[in-house]
Structure 1
């Protein structure tokens, strides 16, 4: 029986012209399913793009999945848009599009613009809404103060399904609201400024970690409704914590209900596998040269920023988009029109994406995961760049982890792996990532990358984190690394939270908390994160002793801090170090403090002496802790300031020390997971 689908449209002629030109950036307001009132009746409007379809009908639980009940109307303008209004159905209905191609093929597809999908393994779309009564107005108004390039940005990267699970059933995922109740106080305590969520968009294959997306406009129903995710983001905002979303415009899976061969042709992807198939991930590459696809993807980016109040997007696998020969052998790729390997269409798309995002939301950040030396990734489009706000500093990450994994005995021969980053540190606006990719697939956990016995492993880890937090650039740390998770990350189970009861792990967590406080409170560590103005070597050549010293500079000279690292297990007494100015220098942070599970080698305040050393007019003799580092600053009382910053960082550690009997401070509670 044929039911009436009324020939109604949300599209104006201007909408259609923008869409076809690739300039419509809010397609989600038109395409998809929209529960609304039309001529006094409630129902749902459907719109889908399928220019090569011969017929399309909406099938769902409201019509018994009958392919002949509700046929959509194709627009007369040649746009390939099919649409119509079906009365008496609304939010909560399951549906798909039944598409018959001109080749006689019949397909059942989910809605590319669906706001919700049924829970996996189901593959139907759901008529839904993103209406939510937000309460984060204060955060949104002041967001520019938290997201600026001259502000502290310390990111906690996390996968929702494996951060923590139900205490009653370890196989049961917590929903967005349950996660919010636990995550918000944890992040506040740890001191991170932002949370970055691995993709929360709907994906059918859970082991993909969210990187194989089918529902680009839908929050994963594994964790609840769209409004539940909004609640999580809102609660973070209400507690002054920003939210970044991992976003994947580089590829999509070939699931039968997804975007692949959507109308029986290669609509969203390139037809030629040399351009349209990704060999690394067995997925398909968007056709960035097609106007409608650019509108689809840019609209998706705008959607998450507008409807979900996201504070930024971390764009995945940018390198794979930039190069036509990425992961391809000779003969497996097609050169561009000039004979080069650059993907000109993808480059154009990325520039347009960033221009559109920053035009609509000047107070957010786009962050590129780009692993090559492509120039100008985080430079404005008008100056020839790609327009991203920041770029992951992959070279720093590889060199640093390789250095810290070496036996300290041999580090003197690889000193340049730590100093090399400063040759290019300001070519881009870099974010320093210790991400999920570094703790999976046999790479080992962060603490087990470190050499030595248990104490040395944790001392090395703290030294690594101190180096990271005081190096120019913003910071990103994957979940579990903040307390020294010993096992590799497993997407299918909770983090090993029981480890925090053990002193080494508790020490690392307390150290991360202190680092985050230091980072937020010391302007020199963030005001010039992306400018050579904010950095000066004091000692960048003592390879024999594996000692580095450098100054981080703020706008005001009195804010400058000195960082000294000793990356051997030897205590270096009477080590003369240059100082950038006269006066008394106090220790803001010592990674070897007993409260962090250190050995307790202390360095008290020192008076600068007029002895020229390390190209500085002033110097002093320091005691450098083993496998550790110091952060020093001129005594604020001697320059008319206060000691509030020092007290905020040091006081919690002193309280931990005071709570432990003196003889028990080095006593380690045995942990079977911790034995190398």
Structure 2
């Protein structure tokens, strides 16, 4: 089928229509309202077409139930179907037929679909749970054994390292017990713990889904986080890709365990009141032909764009053709599959900036609105994302959708009815970049508090963001975590709790302040990366040729955070207190923080949010006595969190039992240097 046109439909001028809500909230969007309306019109036309031929968008997103190997009880056997319009012939091969490339040819049907049927009467003892199979695809260039695009499980042969599809049909289905899990009640505001299952053990090996469920989820719950965001779940042939070079979109990675093991993890999380998000990769795919989708039918553009447009210039990977209806359906079915089969509660969409623009955001500063609505914008990708958010929100109530976008496209995180794309949150990617730049290039005494506050508070009104001081991007080898930037070599030499090293004391103090500032002022949700909450001392480096295939840096040293004799434990204590405070006070659900005082001379920021007053002294040495500032509500206040508490590695310089009382709307406090205080009405 030919690609659909990338051009937006023409919308007749309707002067009586009220402005879109997106435009009402941002008058600078007025010149671009026709484009926003054309996007809406194109979406509605596509939905109408889908509903006409398939009944509903949810029913349309069932391609995985038709392609691949599926048991059909009505026919009494397994039907294997494949979409490969450019192929000359296909043959199903596997251990059930001794990998005979001629034994089971597929018959060509309509619309480029092929099929072969294997009746139970003949194959019930040969095609069984655990059977391995592939499809042999013959094209003009010859024949190749390939993995089916819609396979549900891929396993790797330990000897040959080759991947094969595996039929997964256990006699007893997984028994879910999460029927009472209320996503909206569990996550009034997302406090997200980003994690990688494989590197979550202390030992140098690949961790499992069940180990994560039993050992790590209780830590996450105890830390106050209500959402876990799982990386590297979609099957990927190279472990060191961190899961971002996906080959098999419908397969949960077998290196961590079975599908039932992943379901056990999610079921356990729901039992603890924790939502689970999948880090989904629809922005690109691995270019490997042996394991992935590339050139599946020999045409060069089945799932991906043809030629150079189908190759990402920076990621060494393939780019989906979002304008092709079959590709839309494949990806939408993928979303439904993860929501339905595994009970995921939403998605963090990776690489959205790359999807939105033909230039993939590379070398573009996004300084004006023309950048979002010009020729560089991929309208096919926007249509796909609108379909995706419509499907996900319609299929699972309160589903959480997060976009990894650094461009700041207006409306990305607003409802489609308002002129938006339909995401719930975008990642505040500028915040971690600001912190790293500050630590690398600016001495503490010259930190520009105005720039800091601008970075934390500068986000589009009405579009929610996920604030974070660091994620997996800052933890990878070649970069440094905040703890590593702050402590430097001291992270190996001065981490005893009683070690008085002044450089380590400075690092500990700033690590706490940076995280509190980010959480309390940076967005409407908060994220941390596994281990960073206690200042994990090492970067992440997966086994690869360059490190001798070592797992030494692909692990988490939980014993450091658990040891009360170490500063790691003190940082972990603060993170737990901070996150619990934010959750209990619903800080993130409140409106944006209001700046009360910006004192560049004394390096102090004072602001309010959610009924709390935050006082941050970033001066390198000056502690402030009788420090006065204005508050909006008069009354008595008490300290509910102090970064200077001894439990957090501080010096107990503030009296947390003291009750402060306003005088003429002012509070007077003693604010020690490099300390953050949070006050609430007593």
TM-score of the two chains, using structure 1 as the length reference: 0.82
- 1:499 equivalent to 2:560? Answer yes
Q: Which runs of 5+ in 1 are unaligned?
A: 1-13, 554-559, 612-617, 636-676
Q: Which residue of 2 aligns with 1:182?
A: 215
Report Cα offsets for 1:48-77 as digits up to 9, x if no partner: 1111122111000111110111112222x3
- 1:156 equivalent to 2:198? Answer no
Give distance in 2, aligned partners of 1:226 and 1:438.
30
Q: Which residue of 2 aligns with 1:633?
A: 680
SS where residue 340 of structure 2 aligns?
A: helix
Q: Which residue of 2 aligns with 1:647?
A: none
- 1:195 equivalent to 2:228? Answer yes
Give distance in 2, aligned partners of 1:457 and 1:339.
45
Q: Which residue of 2 aligns with 1:522?
A: 585
Contact 1:466 1:591 in 2 (8 A): no
SS where residue 469 of structure 1 aligns?
A: helix
> Which residue, 165, 179, 182 being the options, matches 1:137?
179
Shift in Å, 1:268: 3.6
Q: Closer, same or farther in 2 for the Cα pair 1:520/1:409, shift >3 Å?
A: closer
SS where residue 118 of structure 1 aligns?
A: strand
> Which residue, 495, 518, 537 being the options, matches 2:595?
537
Q: Closer, same or farther in 2 for the Cα pair 1:15/1:606, shift >3 Å?
A: closer
Q: Which runs of 5+ in 2 are unaligned?
A: 1-49, 365-369, 488-501, 543-550
Contact 1:197 1:244 in 2 (8 A): yes
- 1:282 equivalent to 2:297? Answer no
Q: Closer, same or farther in 2 for the Cα pair 1:21/1:391, shift >3 Å?
A: closer
Contact 1:367 1:388 in 2 (8 A): yes
Q: Closer, same or farther in 2 for the Cα pair 1:226/1:413, shift >3 Å?
A: closer
Shift in Å, 1:373: 2.2
Contact 2:106 2:114 in 1 (8 A): no
Shift in Å, 1:379: 0.8
Give distance in 2, aligned partners of 1:123 and 1:359.
35
Give distance in 2, aligned partners of 1:445 and 1:396.
14
Q: Closer, same or farther in 2 for the Cα pair 1:623/1:402, shift >3 Å?
A: farther
> Which residue, 287, 290, 294 being the options, matches 1:260?
294
User: 5 Å matches for 1:203-222?
Assistant: 203-222=236-255
Give distance in 1, aligned partners of 2:485 and 2:60.
48
Q: Which residue of 2 aligns with 1:307?
A: 341
Give distance in 2, aligned partners of 1:105 and 1:16.
39
> Which residue, 473, 478, 481 being the options, matches 2:532?
481
Contact 2:51 2:57 in 1 (8 A): no
Give distance in 2, aligned partners of 1:520 and 1:21.
36
Q: Closer, same or farther in 2 for the Cα pair 1:421/1:58, shift >3 Å?
A: same
Report Cα offsets for 1:303-345 as digits up to 9, x if no partner: 1111101011000000011111126689xxxx99x97111111
Moved more, 15-24 or 356-365: 15-24
> Which residue, 369, 375, 380 being the options, matches 2:404?
369
- 1:602 equivalent to 2:654? Answer yes
SS where residue 96 of structure 2 aligns?
A: coil
SS where residue 453 of structure 1 aligns?
A: helix
SS where residue 448 of structure 1 aligns?
A: helix
Shift in Å, 1:199: 2.3
Give distance in 1, aligned partners of 2:257 and 2:660.
59
User: 5 Å matches for 1:408-487?
Assistant: 409-413=444-448, 415-424=450-459, 426-433=461-468, 434-450=470-486, 453-471=503-521, 472-487=523-538
Contact 2:477 2:541 in 1 (8 A): no
Report Cα offsets for 1:657-676 as digits up to 9, x if no partner: xxxxxxxxxxxxxxxxxxxx
Moved more, 498-507 or 196-205: 498-507
SS where residue 161 of structure 1 aligns?
A: coil
> Which residue, 124, 136, 141 being the options, matches 2:164?
124
Shift in Å, 1:188: 2.1
Q: Which residue of 2 aligns with 1:72?
A: 106
Moved more, 439-448 or 66-75: 439-448
Q: Closer, same or farther in 2 for the Cα pair 1:15/1:607, shift >3 Å?
A: closer
Give distance in 2, aligned partners of 1:144 and 1:20.
25
> Which residue, 134, 141, 145 being the options, matches 1:108?
145
- 1:381 equivalent to 2:416? Answer yes
Give distance in 1, aligned partners of 2:52 and 2:415.
30
Give distance in 1, aligned partners of 2:520 and 2:463.
17
- 1:98 equivalent to 2:136? Answer yes
- 1:510 equivalent to 2:561? Answer no
The count of residues paired between Structure 1 and Structure 2 equals: 586
Shift in Å, 1:574: 1.5
Shift in Å, 1:386: 1.4
SS where residue 265 of structure 1 aligns?
A: coil
Give distance in 1, aligned partners of 2:475 and 2:566.
22
SS where residue 65 of structure 1 aligns?
A: coil
Give distance in 2, aligned partners of 1:517 and 1:298.
36
Report Cα offsets for 1:470-513 as digits up to 9, x if no partner: 12420000011111112212333311233222421111111111
Shift in Å, 1:217: 0.6
Contact 1:20 1:79 in 2 (8 A): no
Shift in Å, 1:368: 0.3
Q: Which residue of 2 aligns with 1:398?
A: 433
Give distance in 1, aligned partners of 2:112 and 2:298.
17
Q: Closer, same or farther in 2 for the Cα pair 1:328/1:272, shift >3 Å?
A: farther
Give distance in 1, aligned partners of 2:648 and 2:519.
16
Give distance in 2, aligned partners of 1:19 and 1:59.
35
SS where residue 538 of structure 1 aligns?
A: strand
Contact 2:202 2:557 in 1 (8 A): no
Q: Closer, same or farther in 2 for the Cα pair 1:419/1:608, shift >3 Å?
A: farther
Contact 1:152 1:519 in 2 (8 A): no
SS where residue 321 of structure 2 aligns?
A: coil
Q: Closer, same or farther in 2 for the Cα pair 1:180/1:561, shift >3 Å?
A: same
Q: Closer, same or farther in 2 for the Cα pair 1:18/1:276, shift >3 Å?
A: farther
Give distance in 1, aligned partners of 2:557 and 2:107.
54
Q: Closer, same or farther in 2 for the Cα pair 1:263/1:486, shift >3 Å?
A: same
Give distance in 1, aligned partners of 2:261 and 2:413.
33
Contact 1:31 1:47 in 2 (8 A): yes
Give distance in 2, aligned partners of 1:128 and 1:385.
40
TM-score of the two chains, using structure 2 as the length reference: 0.81
Shift in Å, 1:177: 1.3
Give distance in 2, aligned partners of 1:55 and 1:272.
22
Give distance in 2, aligned partners of 1:417 and 1:339.
31
Give distance in 2, aligned partners of 1:62 and 1:226.
22
Give distance in 2, aligned partners of 1:494 and 1:563.
35
User: 5 Å matches for 1:52-91?
Assistant: 52-75=86-109, 77-87=110-120, 88=123, 89-91=127-129
SS where residue 607 of structure 2 aligns?
A: strand
Contact 2:456 2:518 in 1 (8 A): no
